Amino acid sequence: RINSDGKPAKFQPPPKPVIIDKQKQREERRFLSPEFIPPRGRTDPLKFYIERKDMIQRRKVFNIPEFYVGSVLAVTIADPYANDKVNRFVGICIQRGGKGLGATFVLRNVIEDQGVEICYELYNPRIQAIEVLKLEKRLDDHLMYLRDALPEYSTFDMNMKPVSRLDHEEIPVNKLQVRMKPKPWSKRWERPKYNIKGIKFELPETKMKAAQKWSQPWLEFDMLREYDTSKIEEKIWKEVSEELKK
Amino acid sequence: MMPIWTKSGKKHAVTLLKVQDCHVLRYISKEESGGKTSKLLVGGKNASPFSKSESAMEIFKEAGVPRKQKVTTFNVTDDAIIKPGTPLYAAHFRPGQFVDVTAKTIGKGFQGVMKRWGFKGQPASHGQTKTHRRPGAISTNKAAKVYRGKKMPGKMGNIYRTSFGLKVWRINTKHDIIYVNGSVPGHTNCLVKVKDSKLATYKDCNKNPPFPTFFADGDEKLPEDLYDEEIFQFTDPSVTYA
């Protein structure tokens, strides 16, 4: 090649390719299952350490996937009274409770117009498989209000196919506002103590203002209720991830 | 307290008890104590020696052991006597044994008759004047006195009580932890006395226990965890019903 000047062109190296390291992006997101975080109390930390060892043992043999309240799961457990000796249930996780080995999650589904909620223990040895069909978060910590919502929001097909998602994507937050059945509800969800963001309240303004009478604005400034788990979480995450890699 | 699963899939609740620096303090012979069997004084958790008088510290000095927070007596047969100063470990018990656990119950303070003795009280409405949680009548007319031991309000809790016949599911030799079935009297981290069960149904349950006790410097090397046969261990695959 000859330049416009007439001299031979200087060698230009090709531009460096931009490498998006997907592994690094994946590692940046850490998920520690909430039952690993010890509750605030006067128990000896040795008890939590021993419980954690057992939990890690179980996780090495059986995979407990990452899921949040609002994701759709399918659970198969061994049932001595079923025809095939296994029982499969699909539902939306409405609550994750308990700490340590007794951690539970409640799945809700509407089968033939009957709402069904089943509470499973994460570390129960009878559980054969837990599959996450749809991994997503919702605006609230628990979805108990689905009991008073229209049944379409709790129905999920028993033979639903898992929704594919890429590994390094962030967990989508479903900002769905749920429509409710007419009052009375099992709990007064409009009251500020429940702090529900996922309901489309179609109540008159007067009722919503009257509900604010039960608000306790001093609660968020109460220092004795603070429980900062960030440092504990980091330590436990390191411990758990190192053990699981072995 | 923790859940434990058996191989058939049943869940049981289990209490963890830690054996914290237990030493044998003194041997009291049958004649000295005046009872039917000889006794062994055993001390529990280590505590500071500065808050007790010299005379109280004599027992610990003789045994060569730091001051213990709790000292209890165990009635032992003559062939089970241990030299004072030997440490006692959780491996003294084995999974499958049955055990009685004694401790001071949680103190509730001065309590009324409904909480303390389970009286029914009186109705909340329908004309009751200032009487909803009172004991009501305390004796009859003919008796003309109140009997001794009448159930009345008073200090509740903070007394020794025993849970009998608790199964030992698992023993952790590294941290000296005994997993005992069911619940145990007392609050979390309270001091507890664990004995072999006195119930007649469990008299022949102890198959070859470590006798007189488990000696750490002996020849026996135990694995870190000892499990009962029926426990589901987390290293096994999930339970299935074939």
Q: Which residue among A43, A121, A125 places its CB closest to the CB of B238?
A: A125
Q: Does B224 touch chain A (CB under 8 A)?
A: no
pLDDT value for A27: 63
Q: Does B234 touch chain A (CB under 8 A)?
A: yes
Note the ipTM here: 0.90
Question: 3-class DSSP state for residue B66?
Answer: coil
Question: 3-class DSSP state for residue B64?
Answer: coil
Chain B window 179-198: which residues touch A at a Cβ cutoff of 8 Å? 188-189
CA A183 to chain centre: 29
Put simply, the answer to whether A61 touches B236 (Cβ < 8 Å) is yes
pLDDT value for A2: 62
Q: What is the pTM of this model?
A: 0.87
What is the pLDDT averaged over residues A115-127? 95
How far apart, in whole angstroms, are the C-alpha atoms of residue B84 and residue B218? 17
Q: Which residues contact A165 (CB under 8 A, 6 or more apart)?
A: A135
Pick from B104, B30, B108, B105: nearest CA to B69: B104
Query: Domains plus CATH for chain A?
Result: 45-53+63-175 (2.30.30.790)
Q: Which residue among A43, A57, A126 places its CB closest to the CB of B9?
A: A126
Domain ranges of chain B: 2-107+159-227, 108-156
Per-residue pLDDT tens digits for A166-220: 877 788 999 999 999 998 999 999 999 999 999 999 999 999 999 999 999 999 9
CATH architecture for the domain at B2-107+159-227? 2-Layer Sandwich (3.30)
Alpha carbon of B14: minimum distance to chain A alpha carbons (Å): 12
How far apart, in whole angstroms, are the C-alpha atoms of residue B48 and residue A104? 42
How far apart, in whole angstroms, are the C-alpha atoms of residue B94 and residue B99? 10
Strand-strand pairing, A173-174 and A137-138: parallel
Chain A residue with minimal CA distance to B239?
Answer: A126
Amino acid of residue B159: I
Q: Which residue among A47, A50, A78 places its CB closest to the CB of B240?
A: A78
Alpha carbon of B204: minimum distance to chain A alpha carbons (Å): 32
Chain A residue with minimal CA distance to B234?
Answer: A58
Chain A residue with minimal CA distance to B175?
Answer: A46
pLDDT value for A111: 94
Q: Which residue among B2, B18, B242 places its CB closest to the CB of A51?
A: B2
The three-point CA angle A168-A172-A178 to 5° equals 165
Q: Which residues of A touch B188 (CB under 8 A)?
A: 41-44
- At A1, the pLDDT band (50, 70, 90 cuts) reads low
Alpha-carbon distance values, A14 to A11, A20, B90 (Å): 9, 18, 71
How far apart, in whole angstroms, are the C-alpha atoms of residue B105 and residue B190? 9
